[in-house]
Amino acid sequence: MELRRGAVTVFVLVMCLCSMPEAQLQVGFYESTCPQAEAVVAEELRRGLASNIGLAAGLVRMHFHDCFVRGCDGSVLIDSTSTNKAEKDSPINNPSLRGFEVIDNAKTRLESACKGIVSCADVLAFAARDSVAMTGGMRYQVPGGRRDGRVSLDSEVLTNLPGPTFDVSQLNQSFANKGLNMEEMVTLSGAHSIGRSHCSSFSSRLYSFNATASEDPSLDANYAAQLKQQCPQSSNNSSLVVFMDPRSPYSMDASYYGNLLQNLGLFASDQVLASDSATASQVMQNVAGGGIAWKRKFAAAMAKMGQIGVLTGSDGEIRTNCRVIN
């Protein structure tokens, strides 16, 4: 009898272990372990935006670059070392990625309030969510529980992120590789409604388009002339930047899609969304809806992007310093 009960116990235990669902992200993940976690991130973001409103765009982009390279595991936050060139030092990220200090400040406070509990990957996901909300986008829930990765390689950045000269099929493929469909790709591209770009990211559209045309004919001529003034061909200043959406550079709104219909997309990868028959109808719907429908879709797509390739349970670690592997 005793033996049988023991066997049953072992059997039940094994069943439980085997059928235990993989650890998953969860809304309110830190409710009992660090209840102030999300509020601290919001507070540090607000403080950061007070000195530089552009950091909101920086953090939305940083989350995207984190998630597309090795999943949303905070790997983009890791500093290079003498033996490893990290993601953040890829030319795609350095010097253009910004907002690291907001993450550091939030993490420092969270380590002193609840040591070893809140991951850097979650801090970044929360900060990106709040950046969307604070610039006029729709607020969405971000489940927590991401763990921090222990690997960050410059060599994985270029191969996993889309480029500004991509056409629709390349964009589609790049997002499909991360489990996001074409509509979500068009929806998420609307993040280019805020922020800035360095001239080097699009100057080929102004000066060296192809063998027969120096200027990209799909770029509005007046806009091109204005961009040429902001990005002179003769300049050797690599710090020059322009707004992605000059009409409302700090507002997360559907004007991005309206711009595309007027050939005012900054990157070729933006403008093609309006000209390719596979995506043009999405662009028009996003404009027609006055922004509400797009904001809802954007929130949902951000939440989905935030779950790409996450580490959970006992995988990875909770980094003490977001810049350094424990």
Ligand X SMILES: *[C@@H]1O[C@H](CO)[C@@H](O)[C@H](O)[C@H]1NC(C)=O
Query: 61, 65, 70, 88: which is the annotated catalytic residue?
Result: 65
Whole-angstrom Cα distance, residue 99 to residue 92? 15
Report, in this order, helix, strand and coil percent for the chain, each rounded to 5.
Answer: 50, 5, 45
Contact segment (CB under 6 A) with ligand HEM among 23-31, 58-66, 140-148, 223-231 equals 58-66
Answer yes or no: 65 catalytic. yes
Q: How far is the CB of 202 from ligand HEM (least distance, A)?
A: 7
Per CB under 6 A, does 191 bind ligand HEM? Answer: yes
Q: How far is the CB of 198 from ligand X (least distance, A)?
A: 10
Buried b vs exposed e over 25-42: b needs ≥16 C-beta within 10 Å?
Answer: beeebbeeebeebbebbb
Place of tokens 């991951």: 119
Place of tokens 């009898």: 1
Residues 172-211 touching ligand X, rule: CB under 6 A, are 172, 176, 182, 210-211
- Token pair of 129, please? 């969510």
Q: How far is the CB of 322 from ligand HEM (least distance, A)?
A: 18
Per CB under 6 A, does 237 bind ligand X? Answer: yes
- Token pair of 95, please? 């010097």
Residues 62-91 touching ligand X, rule: CB under 6 A, are none
Question: Of 70, 192, 297, 319, which one interacts with ligand HEM (CB under 6 A)?
Answer: 192
- Tell me the backbone φ, ψ of residue 97, rounded to 5 degrees: -70, 140
With contact defined as beta carbons under 8 Å apart, do 42 and 126 qualify?
Answer: yes
Binding region for substrate: 162
Q: Which residues are catalytic?
A: 65
Footprint of ligand HEM on this chain (CB under 6 A)? 54, 57-58, 60-61, 64, 96, 98, 162-164, 166, 171, 188-189, 191-192, 194-198, 201, 244, 267, 269
